[in-house]
Amino acid sequence: MKKHSFTFPRLKYKQDGIINFVEYKHKRFKLVYVVMIILLLIALFIAIFPLFFLLIQAFKTPEEINSNIFKFWPEVLDLGKIIDVWQVSGLGVYFTNTIIVLIGAIISSIIFNGLLAYGVSIVKPIGSKFVYGLILGSYMIPTVLSIIPLYAMIVNLKLINSFIPLWFAFGANAFYFINFKNYFDKIPKELVESMRVDGCGDFQIFFKLILPISKPIIGTIAILATSAAWGDFLLPKLVLMEDSNFTLMVKLFSINATMGTVAGYTPDMLLMALLLSIIPQIFIFLIFQKQITGGSLEGGIKE
């Protein structure tokens, strides 16, 4: 037998689960298995089809989309349309803005939640338990409920049209904090104490010891923050007023809201812009799918 040969899984070797090889000796159960695979294929189709639909619609001309005769495929596949839409809608600016917000959000979610978690988990100064309680207490309360006063505070600080509130908002995330704290709780105290004996302060310990040994959790938080910041809508919508400051989501929303009233944007252009905004998300997902689906237990909890 070759070492790396691909072997098709055989039902007679299925050891665990509700139905196993014992039942699969019977024809009836083999039929059940086929039905299960068919159901999964249907689910897969439903999951993928709308994306496929977007891909096809995005390449149609406005006439084709509004035509009375429905045709599934576009008449011609014009790849130049990608560049046309990109230039006409100036998507480059919004992509750049999104990436600027994204990078700030990732850094801020790691540094601030991490530092706070380090304090609560390792240094434990008097009163840190109280802080921990406050964070846990506000964890179950959806932050959107207090968006109005937050907006008023941002207005008062004259931070409208600035990315600063969007960055720092990620530094106060109870879910990221709890993940960091749970990870830091497992770090041996001796490591920290030995650095303290060497005369290092807490900031030094955090940046020189804790962060380098916390790569797995930093990776997880970075991935979570990436997808959260990319799709973040309400706060950017309120804070960013100038078109040149819009993130992709805010721009897509504004194209969608003004479509039909403002000349220049046709449905197919919006669809192409949607497609272009989805592609990076799918790429990020495919690259990190192991970490994302593995971390979906914790990730799903916040959703």
- Could you say which residues in the range 52-111 bind other proteins, by CB under 8 A? 53-54, 57, 65-68, 70, 111
First-to-last CA distance in the chain? 46
Place of tokens 């495929």: 73
* Contact present, 209 and 195 (Cβ < 8 Å): yes
Among 3, 27, 80, 149, binds other proteins (CB under 8 A): 149
Toward other proteins, which CB reaches closer, 85 or 174? 174
Toward other proteins, which CB reaches closer, 83 or 126? 126
Toward other proteins, which CB reaches closer, 61 or 227? 227
Q: Name the token pair of 9.
A: 């899984």
Q: Does 197 bind other proteins (CB under 8 A)?
A: no
Cβ of residue 169: shortest distance to other proteins, in angstroms? 5
Toward other proteins, which CB reaches closer, 106 or 169? 169
Q: Does 207 bind other proteins (CB under 8 A)?
A: no
Among 94, 163, 177, 184, binds other proteins (CB under 8 A): 177
Measured at the CA of 247, the angle between CA 245 and CA 250, to 5 degrees, comes to: 105
* Interacting span for other proteins (CB under 8 A) from 79-87, 187-195, 213-221, 226-234: 226-234
Q: Does 203 bind other proteins (CB under 8 A)?
A: yes
Q: What part of residues 264-293 is at the interface with other proteins (CB under 8 A)?
A: 267, 270-271, 274, 277-278, 281-282, 284-286, 289, 292-293
Q: Does 227 bind other proteins (CB under 8 A)?
A: yes
Angle between helices 215-231 and 267-287 (to 10 degrees): 170
Cβ of residue 149: shortest distance to other proteins, in angstroms? 3
Cβ of residue 130: shortest distance to other proteins, in angstroms? 11
* Contact present, 48 and 40 (Cβ < 8 Å): no
Angle between helices 91-118 and 248-258 (to 10 degrees): 130
User: Given its phi and psi angles, is residue 247 left (phi above 0), alpha (psi -120 to 50 degrees) or beta?
Assistant: beta
Hey, what long-range contacts does 59-67 have (CB within 8 A, 24 or more apart)? Answer: 59/268, 59/272, 60/268, 61/268, 62/266, 62/267, 62/268, 64/268, 65/266, 65/267, 65/268, 66/267
Toward other proteins, which CB reaches closer, 76 or 152? 152
